[in-house]
Amino acid sequence: MNLEGQTYESLSRQFAWQIPARYNMGVDVCDKWADGSGRLALIYEDHEGCVTRYTFDDLKQLSARFANALLASGAQRGDRIGIFLSQSIETAIAHLAAYKAGMVAVPLFALFGVDAIEHRLGDSGAVALITDTAGVHKVDEIRAALPALRSVFSVDLASDEPDERAPVRSFWQALNGAAAAFDPVDTGADDPAVIIYTSGTTGKPKGALHGHRVLLGHLPGVEMSQQGFPVDATLMWTPADWAWIGGLFDVLLPSWHHGVAVLARRFAKFDGEAAFDLMARHAVSHTFLPPTALKMMRGVAGPERWPLALRSVASGGESLGAELIEWGRRALGVTINEFYGQTECNVVVSSCAALFEPCIGAIGRAVPGHRVAIIDDAGQELPAGAIGDIAVEAPDPVMFLGYWGNEAATREKYRGRYLVTGDLGVCDAEGFIRFVGRGDDVITSAGYRIGPASIEDSLLRHPAVSMAAVVGAPDAARTEIVVAFVVLKAGFVGDEELVREIQMHVKTRLAAHEYPREIRFVESLPMTATGKVIRKVLREGF
């Protein structure tokens, strides 16, 4: 997206989708760059700091061999392939091979436990799984519950291990023993390509099935949130796991679509100092940092110690607020562009400092190509300033095909011609959308409807507060009262004096009816694997 000489309004007027009838993600992000030039595609740094570089030529050959290995194992076009690994070369190869073979990738977060794996592999009917030794041990516990799973490939196994239930095969042995020649399947843009399971904040995780076109649907949002990407882009990194839509479709695949190299380094446990160090050592130019990562990096003293080469930072998943935006300008040297989306329909709203100043408290404006509206219960668009459901008009290239094996849930996701996100928001006259909260997160107190985002932002601006989450608790007089769960910074004591100080801080800076009438100090907050606070868990204590 070339932003030179453009305004947000001109980009929106001129935009037109160009989705070809026949399209394959694997060919697009890999094979088209594999021209023998040795163009850098991936820098992989392991936990011990060892660095390996791979070109697009390497990726084409490796993914071709593994596509043949999958076919030799009995997997066929349309079959689901589980990928239970963190950021690594093997993860990339498995995705590319599945797409080019017309199979459906099912990414799985590396820290999932046995129950989470069983649900996703069982629900999707995966016939093959690529994992490591730790993953093999977990799968061994549930193999009997996964009758469709015929092949397990382990990336750190030297040779195949026979098993009467299903053999555990060496990933690299299978790959190296397969033929190098492979003709990618001719897929349609709407053909199934990937199932990404929701994080389960509002019920049992559902498999969002996406077609190959989903990558093309992501591009405008990624380009807008990353300051006209790929302009000035040399290396992209994210701490977000590639098992989630944010890591896979906001970073890895869009970067490769544009021929931009990606840094693979996933911390076992995120560390703010290590993130600064990594980005400085590798001269990362573009990054996606989830809000939780930013909040942890905000606690690092002296960020100026690291000579960063950042040209753009994007963040999404929860509203950032003024404090983090201001900190980003000081510590990262850029204005963090906030974006919004979800697994079913991602990156449809974004900020872009190159086009307009961020509206503090807003998550951005509709990305060109996407029609985003605030609607009522009848599916009618609401006027500016009214609270309603954030919704996206269908059809849209980034929109999912449906929930895997769950037509009823798919129907419930739509209201008339709109896909309903499940989040409440407000749109102003200039098109800036404010995130109010999930439908069940909004607090009704003394006749006011209160969203948690602005209160949490105000809490974070207090010098004692490291992290905070706000929910409503039942109250006979007010219907609900605002309750804040607060993680303190080191050196602060959660006594009554601090409670009163924090309450007054919010009351005088935000609004008298929005201050937390109760504050609970906690060691940590319950979060999904993608770093979103699970307020439902906090509410269960009332």
CA distances, 365 to each of 12, 65, 159 (Å): 11, 43, 52
- Mean pLDDT check: name the lowest of 16-20, 198-202, 237-241: 198-202
**Structure confidence by residue, pLDDT tens digits, 257-272:** 999 999 999 888 889 9
Q: In the predicted model, is pLDDT for residue 444 greater than 80?
A: no
pLDDT of residue 525: 93
Which residues does residue 446 pair with via DSSP β-bridges, in sequence order?
Answer: none
Same fold, 24-187 and 207-438: yes
Q: Pick from 146, 266, 118, 126: which is nearest to 195 by CA?
A: 126
**Structure confidence by residue, pLDDT tens digits, 149-171:** 999 999 998 777 665 555 799 99
Pick 443-539's CATH classification: 3.30.300.30, 3.40.50.1370, 1.10.490.20, 3.90.1150.10.
Answer: 3.30.300.30
Just give the CATH number of 24-187.
3.40.50.12780
Q: In the predicted model, is pLDDT for residue 223 greater than 90?
A: yes
Share of the chain above pLDDT 90, in %: 78
Mean pLDDT of 458-473: 92
**Structure confidence by residue, pLDDT tens digits, 113-129:** 888 899 899 999 999 99
Q: In the predicted model, is pLDDT for residue 479 greater than 90?
A: no
CB of 208 within 8 A of CB of 400? yes
Split at pLDDT 50, 70, 90, the class of 200 is low
CB of 297 within 8 A of CB of 328? no
Q: In the predicted model, is pLDDT for residue 62 greater than 90?
A: yes
CB of 83 within 8 A of CB of 94? yes
pLDDT of residue 199: 66
Q: In the predicted model, is pLDDT for residue 523 greater than 80?
A: yes
CA distance 38 to 499: 59
User: Which two tokens mark 54?
Assistant: 């791979």
Fold held by 207-438: Rossmann fold (3.40.50)
Q: What is the pTM of this model?
A: 0.85
pLDDT of residue 55: 98
CA distance 537 to 542: 10
Q: Annotate 74-136 with DSSP letters as a single string.
A: T--TT-EEEE---SSHHHHHHHHHHHHTT-EEEE--TT--HHHHHHHHHHHT-SEEEE-HHHH
Q: In the predicted model, is pLDDT for residue 335 greater than 60?
A: yes
The residues, any chain, with a CB within 8 Å of residue 80's CB and separated by 6 or more, are 103, 104, 105, 106, 124, 125, 126, 127, 195
pLDDT of residue 208: 97
Split at pLDDT 50, 70, 90, the class of 454 is confident
Q: Can you give the residue ranges of every domain in the chain?
A: 24-187, 207-438, 443-539
Q: Pick from 110, 125, 34, 122: which is nearest to 79 by CA?
A: 125
**Structure confidence by residue, pLDDT tens digits, 499-508:** 999 999 988 8
Q: Give the HSE-up count for residue 450: Cα atoms under 13 Å, Cβ half-sphere.
A: 27
**Residue showing tokens 């006011």:** 448
CB of 480 within 8 A of CB of 473? yes
CB of 365 within 8 A of CB of 216? no
Q: Pick from 407, 418, 411, 408: which is nearest to 379 by CA?
A: 418
Split at pLDDT 50, 70, 90, the class of 447 is low
CA distance 30 to 55: 9
